[in-house]
């Protein structure tokens, strides 16, 4: 993906650049899932290779090295059952369901401020994050100086778009569920056409139960706990779009 971006950056122009950027967005969504899984279980044994890989992923997803470790691993995973502490809360102040558009807009804008807030309790990790943030932006700044137009189209705009898409997917996975336990708090997709490009993120309850489990083992864990997940939290909508009214009716039908 990065090689394609570079090829387009140096050799494309005009409408071709815009069309190529739009065509690559679905692939970059899959890169976002890779970035997520990588922050849970690093891809490489050697730390420098992992940080380099995260720089490459940053130029596709907008999530810089160690950013997801702070915001997602330490923040969301530890606190998603507490709506008052989750760095990506889906409830309004009065406890009502936050509209999807508002959740995506607010929480996308708050990703890096939340990283700063969480980082105050993890100073050493936060300092490493800041150093890597500077390093990760060096190639981006260089690209902007060399060819501002192509850098904006092929890197900056997709990076911002991926953050919005990431939060939209998170809303679909969690909003309108429950806070009682892992089995009540995540929406799952069992379809292969969702789990192949998302690297098994559809098995989301299993992922939250054991976030350090390698993504390839999530289907097995999901099969073991499937009977404990309420039926209304298994969806066949690959965009994780759902209607609150329909959700409530399904919950009532599933209640004894």
pLDDT tens track for 129-183: 999 999 999 999 999 999 999 999 999 999 999 999 999 999 999 999 999 999 9
184 pLDDT above the threshold of 50: yes
Q: What is the pLDDT, as a whole number, of residue 66?
A: 96
* Residue 54: closest CA among 141, 118, 131, 161: 131
| Interval 95-114: pLDDT, tens | 999 999 999 999 999 999 99
**Rounded to two decimals, what is the model's pTM?**
0.91
239 has pLDDT over 60: yes
Both 48 and 163 in one domain: the answer is yes
Q: Examine the domain organization and report whether 139 and 67 are in the same domain.
A: yes
Same domain, 148 and 205: no
pLDDT of 242 > 80? The answer is no
Structure tokens at 42: 């690093």
CB atoms within 10 A of CB 90: 21
**Looking at 175, 207, 227, which one is the last position of a domain?**
175
For 169, the token pair is 């997917």
* Cα–Cα dist 237/137, whole Å: 36
Number of structural domains (the chain) is: 2
Q: Is the pLDDT of residue 245 over 50?
A: no
167 plus 114 within the same structural domain = yes
Which of 73, 69, 89 lies closest to 81, judged by CA? 89
pLDDT tens across 198-225, in order? 999 999 999 999 999 999 999 999 999 9
- Which domain does 184 fall in, by range? 179-256
Do 59 and 157 have their domain in common?
Answer: yes
Q: Does residue 204 share a domain with residue 108?
A: no
Give percent above pLDDT 90 in the chain: 91
Please identify, among 113, 142, 175, the residue that sits at the C-terminal boundary of a domain: 175
For the CA atoms of 81, 207, 50, 191, the dihedral, rounded to the nearest 10 degrees, stands at -130
50 and 65 share a domain?
Answer: yes
- Which percentage of the chain shows pLDDT scores above 70? 95
Of 127, 144, 175, which residue constitutes the final position of a domain?
175
Give yes or no for residue 250 having a pLDDT over 90: no
């Amino acid at each position: 993906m990065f090689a394609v971006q570079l090829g387009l950056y140096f050799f494309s122009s005009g409408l071709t650049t815009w069309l190529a950027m739009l065509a690559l967005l679905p692939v970059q969504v899959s890169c976002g899932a890779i970035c997520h899984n990588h922050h849970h279980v690093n891809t490489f044994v050697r730390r420098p290779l992992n940080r380099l890989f995260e720089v490459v992923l940053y130029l596709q997803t907008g999530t810089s090295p160690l950013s997801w470790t702070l915001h997602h691993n330490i923040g969301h995973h530890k606190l998603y059952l507490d709506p008052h502490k989750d760095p990506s809360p889906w409830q309004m102040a009065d406890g009502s369901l936050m509209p999807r558009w508002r959740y995506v807009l607010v929480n996308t804008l708050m990703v890096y401020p939340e990283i700063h807030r969480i980082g105050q309790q993890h100073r050493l990790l936060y300092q490493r994050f800041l150093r890597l943030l500077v390093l990760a932006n060096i190639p981006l700044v260089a690209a902007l100086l060399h060819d501002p137009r192509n850098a904006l189209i092929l890197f900056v705009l997709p990076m911002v778009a991926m953050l919005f898409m990431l939060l939209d997917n998170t809303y679909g996975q969690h909003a309108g569920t429950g806070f009682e336990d892992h089995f009540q708090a995540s929406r799952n997709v069992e379809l292969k056409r969702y789990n192949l490009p998302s690297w098994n993120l559809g098995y989301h309850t299993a992922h939250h139960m054991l976030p350090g489990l390698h993504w390839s083992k999530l289907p097995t864990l999901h099969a073991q706990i499937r009977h404990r997940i309420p039926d209304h939290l298994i969806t066949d909508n690959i965009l994780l779009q759902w209607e609150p009214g329909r959700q409530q009716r399904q919950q009532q039908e599933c209640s004894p």
